[in-house]
């Protein structure tokens, strides 16, 4: 018995008593991180936002795609939505179908996905569905994939629906539930505080941009603290000049307000030297009134957002780190 205990202690010492340099090396990784908005980016959901007539209280449904374009017009004089307002009540207000408080409870999210998927083939796929499927094609990239959505569901509700997509063979892995951030979930402030140890910013479903950007800051901090291996393949530098070793981080959203806020906050962090090891690229995948998009910009310390032109870079890094797969071959622009 005594010798058995000694053997166990020896094995434990060998496992956990590695010199600190070896431990640090074991944690080295060049991260390719995907951060996605959900609605109209990965998935086209049929869920409607209900706006209320200020005088009559009559409800009018608005699609998420339209809402992304007109949310600043609601209640604003001179616009189509001047006489309407957003009502905030969780179970009866404008966003009730985006959370777990409607009559369908937490089943609503899955129900809306099923409704969308019962339509014409692929009509439910958002502009970055293929990129999402690539990110889900390996456990490693799935573990570095984050969802940041203005939905009010619990993270577990969305995670369960992703697991269902996996079960149906549409994706191969799912991100950890810890990487799913519905920023208007009533539990968001407490969860944010406990997870990151800082105060969350204010926000709600009609103005989620600041909360989304606050989660991004925390993701970028986590990536920055991961040492890059000396053998990491070089990429074109964030400023577009020269080459260097960087983690790659990308965020995509179809809401221009969210994209503008993300650019502002990430630029500020880069300028302060907070994320020296990260090449950050932000993708706008929606439509802005009177302007033709989508577009992608890469940000750099002290620079101005520049057009992201180095298509194929993400594919190259993924192939070098995890080997070529049919899925990685699909990546065209990232
Ligand atoms: Mg969206």
50-76 pLDDT, tens digit per residue, is: 999 999 999 999 998 888 788 889 999
CA 288: distance to chain centroid?
20
The reported pLDDT for the residue numbered 281 is: 96
Centre of ligand 1 to C-alpha 40, Å, is: 5
In a domain, 295, yes or no: yes
Q: In the chain, which residues have pLDDT < 50?
A: 1-25, 323-334
In a domain, 144, yes or no: yes
In a domain, 102, yes or no: no
pTM for this predicted structure: 0.84
Centre of ligand 1 to C-alpha 81, Å, is: 20
Q: Which domain does 250 fall in, by range?
A: 24-44+121-329
Centre of ligand 1 to C-alpha 180, Å, is: 15
In a domain, 114, yes or no: no
> DSSP letters along 233-255, please?
PPEE-TTSSSEE--EEEEEEES-
Centre of ligand 1 to C-alpha 138, Å, is: 25
Question: What residues have a C-beta under 5 A from ligand 1, the ion?
Answer: 37, 39-41, 254
Count structural domains, the chain. 1
* Tens digits of residue pLDDT in 74-120: 999 999 999 999 998 999 999 999 999 999 999 999 999 999 999 99
Centre of ligand 1 to C-alpha 311, Å, is: 23
Centre of ligand 1 to C-alpha 312, Å, is: 25
In a domain, 69, yes or no: no
Centre of ligand 1 to C-alpha 149, Å, is: 7
In a domain, 149, yes or no: yes
Centre of ligand 1 to C-alpha 229, Å, is: 35
In a domain, 152, yes or no: yes
The reported pLDDT for the residue numbered 311 is: 79
In a domain, 51, yes or no: no
Cα angle, residue 168 at apex, residues 167 and 172 outer, rounded to 5°: 65
Centre of ligand 1 to C-alpha 255, Å, is: 6
Strand partners, 256: none
Torsion of CA 270, 272, 277, 280, to 10 degrees: -10
């Amino acid at each position: 018995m005594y010798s058995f205990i000694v053997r166990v202690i020896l094995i434990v010492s060998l496992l956990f008593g590695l010199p600190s340099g070896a431990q640090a090396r074991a944690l080295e990784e060049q991260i390719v991180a995907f951060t996605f908005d959900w609605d109209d980016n990965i998935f086209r959901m049929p869920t409607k936002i209900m706006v209320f007539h200020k005088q009559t209280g009559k409800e009018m449904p608005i699609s998420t795609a339209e809402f992304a374009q007109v949310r600043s017009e609601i209640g604003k004089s001179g616009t189509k939505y001047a006489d309407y307002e957003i009502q905030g009540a969780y179970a009866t207000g404008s966003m009730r179908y985006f959370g777990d408080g409607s009559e369908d409870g937490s089943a609503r999210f899955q129900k809306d996905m099923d409704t969308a998927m019962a339509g014409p083939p692929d009509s439910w796929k958002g502009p970055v569905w293929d990129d999402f499927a690539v990110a889900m094609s390996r456990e490693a990239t799935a573990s570095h994939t984050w969802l940041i959505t203005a939905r009010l569901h619990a993270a577990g509700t969305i995670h369960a629906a992703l697991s269902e997509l996996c079960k149906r063979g549409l994706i191969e892995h799912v991100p950890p539930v810890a990487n799913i951030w519905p920023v208007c979930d009533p539990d968001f402030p407490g969860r944010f505080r406990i997870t990151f140890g800082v105060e969350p910013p204010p926000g709600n479903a009609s103005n989620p941009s600041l909360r989304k950007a606050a989660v991004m800051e925390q993701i970028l901090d986590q990536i920055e603290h991961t040492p890059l291996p000396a053998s990491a393949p070089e990429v074109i530098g964030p400023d577009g000049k020269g080459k260097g070793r960087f983690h790659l981080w990308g965020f995509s959203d179809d809401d221009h307000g969210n994209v503008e806020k993300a650019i502002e906050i990430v630029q500020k962090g880069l300028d302060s030297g907070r994320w020296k090891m990260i090449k950050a690229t932000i993708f706008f995948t929606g439509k802005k009134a009177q302007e033709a998009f989508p577009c992608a910009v890469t940000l750099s310390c002290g620079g101005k957002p520049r057009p992201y032109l180095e298509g194929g870079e993400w594919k190259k890094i993924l192939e070098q780190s995890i080997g070529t797969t049919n899925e990685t071959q699909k990546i065209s622009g990232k």
